[in-house]
Each structure stands twice: as structure tokens, then as C-alpha cells.
A and B are shown apart, each in its own frame.
Chain A
């Protein structure tokens, strides 16, 4: 298997379409014959990133690269950024508005879940500029 690149633009504030990128990545990984655990880890991580872009950043971009030994994901947005990343990484901390909580989001588990389901996670954020997250899930 050589490399495979996937790119998605995520619409902001459209909760009915959130999940399209992660769903599509899941289908592709399934077609490539990867194990259910790896597929689930990538799919949940991308979904959390996608939801964060919709809730907080008015959308963004997702790039997924599948290599023989690793899946790399790049999540980028031009949203308000995260002032305190260590606080945002804590389970239960959320700045999601009430209308989003009514849909079942805003549990403060998004970034912790991404960390939990990936082998490597790097997050860079500048208030007023945006947030970039790089993920790696190894294909063992």
C-alpha cells in the first residue's frame, strides 16, 4: 500500500453535516482493510476534531494521509484559538454554548478523547489566529 491522501472542508455551524469527513475516512480505511480498532480510533478522533471546528471555529480543514505504517491527520481552523491548551485538555472543561449542549455536545471530552484514541497528538493554537492539531495513529 502506498500513500493515500484525503482532504475535507468542514462547514461551520452545520451540525447536520458534521461527521461527513470522519464517516468518509472511516469508509476508506475499511476499504483498505485496516483493523476495526484502528479505524475506530481514527474515526472518533477526526469526529471530535470536526465537531470542535463546527462548534468553535466556523469550520476548517481536515487532511488525512494513510501510509503503510501510520495514519497522519491534520486538523486546521482559523477560529478564535485556545488561550489555555492545558485547561482545554482537561476532561470536563468546555466553553461550548448552551444550544450546543442541548444536542449532547460540550461534555468537555473532545480534546481528551482525541488524545485517548491516538498514538501522538500535537496541538498548536494562537488566540485570534486559529488552531492546528496533528495526530498519528500507528498501523501495528
Chain B
């Protein structure tokens, strides 16, 4: 599933990374501790988090994350938005909690 399809189906707000909407989403990972994410998330995962700081964008870049989904309307700070734009990282946002989004992603991915 492409990031743009997920964005449309879950009515997510697109905050950055228009050029990465064609990324393939292969799985999903939820977590807010950055090293934990780098240890456990797989390349191509949609990453659900409340961490909208510049370091989250760094982690997404290095760990080959397909997109970040900020859950429960978590903020994306100005430095993070700048870095996400520079690195073409798709950052999406939802008012729903991580659990709800993860369940929806799982259904859409068909497992």
C-alpha cells in the first residue's frame, strides 16, 4: 500500500513529504522511544508516534521508515518540519490514538 492511499483512507493530515507519498508501506510500528524504534522497526514501516521533534525525523531517515504518523494530534515542531521537508519524509497526522490507527493499518495491509 502506498503512503498516499493510507493518507486518503484514514483521512490523515499531510504535514510534509509530498514527494514520498509513493513510498510502499510494508508494516507498522508504534513507539516513542527513539532507540527502541531503531532497534525494532523494520524498513518500510509506517511509524506511529507522538514524538514530533527533529530527532524523530532523523530516526525516520536512518531507519528507512515509509512515513511517520503523528497520533492524537501530536505537534510537529518547526525544526522537525524543516528537516522533514529537506529530507522528503512524509509526516501525517491523525486525531485518533495509536491503537486505532494501528488496527486500521493492519486491516488495510491485509493481515
Contacts and interface: CB of A to CB of B under 8 A. Distances in A.
B38 A48 contact: yes
Given A19-B55, A22-B62, A48-B38, 14 more contacts: A19-B58, A23-B62, A36-B64, A43-B62, A47-B38, A47-B58, A51-B55, A103-B34, A103-B55, A104-B53, A105-B33, A107-B35, A108-B35, A116-B39
A47 B62 contact: yes
A17 B69 CA distance: 23
A16 interface: yes
Contact of A16 (B32, B38, B63, B79): B79
A81 interface: no
A61 to B, nearest CB: 19
Interface string B56-95: 1011011110000000000000010000000100000000
Contacts of A109: 33, 35-36, 38-39
A10 to B, nearest CB: 13
Q: Is the interface of B mostly helix, strand, loop or mixed?
A: helix
A40 interface: yes
A104 B51 contact: yes
Interface of B: 32-36, 38-39, 43, 51, 53-56, 58-59, 61-64, 79, 87
Given A104-B34, A109-B38, A109-B39, A15 B63 contact: no
A104 B33 CA distance: 5
Given A15-B55, A19-B55, A113 B79 contact: no
Nearest to B61: A23
